[in-house]
Amino acid sequence: MEQIIETHGAEETFALGKKIGKSARPGQVYALNGDLGAGKTVFTQGVAAGLGITEPVNSPTFTILQIYENGRLPFYHFDVYRIGDVEEMEEIGYEDCFYGEGVCLVEWAGLIEEILPENCIRIEIAKNLSSGFDYRTIKIEQNRTEVGI
Ligand code: ADP
Ligand code: MG
């Protein structure tokens, strides 16, 4: 299943993420891709809000993984922009997160393609400057089960 949603500002992308976070189920892995500044972290902040997380969520600069435990489900936020090798994912124990009872979201998921679960939800955020500076298309793809938006 594939859906394409258009947003016209950060608050709309946040709202979409929030809707998805509200319906997220244990064990779901969201694989995000998109250029620098596309809105991956804005979307992530929405997902966190939808999970009921009240702590501020930012892209971890020097850590690959940030864990938030005060929401409806544990939230594992990966930003693998600076990863050198998927072995680094093994070192931080990603399997317990990907195949656990929490919700995972990976920014720059394309860099760890080989270890993404087959049933992950793929989200691609793209700019299209001819449609305006704040315009984005957000493509959501999933193999099985509905995304819930
Ligand atoms: P990324 O994590 O993909 O590098 P960020 O989420 O950190 O990107 O930054 C996205 C930037 O783009 C923010 O400054 C945000 O305010 C801005 N922005 C403008 N329009 C949108 C939109 N439609 N969706 C998301 N962010 C937007
Ligand atoms: Mg980011």
Adjacent-strand bridge partners of 106 = 31, 78
Q: What's residue 143's pLDDT?
A: 80
Residues with CB under 5 A from ligand 2 (ion): 40-41, 59, 107
Q: Tell me: the pLDDT tens digits for 6-64?
A: 999 999 999 999 999 999 999 999 999 999 999 999 999 999 999 999 999 998 677 89
Q: What's residue 148's pLDDT?
A: 56
- What distance in Å separates the CA atoms of residue 11 and residue 80, rounded to the nearest whole number? 24
Cα radius of gyration rounded to whole Å, the chain: 14
Distance 108 CA to ligand 1 centre (A): 14
pTM here is 0.95
Using DSSP's 3-state secondary structure scheme, residue 113 falls into helix
Q: Whose CA is nearest to atom 27 of ligand 1?
A: 10
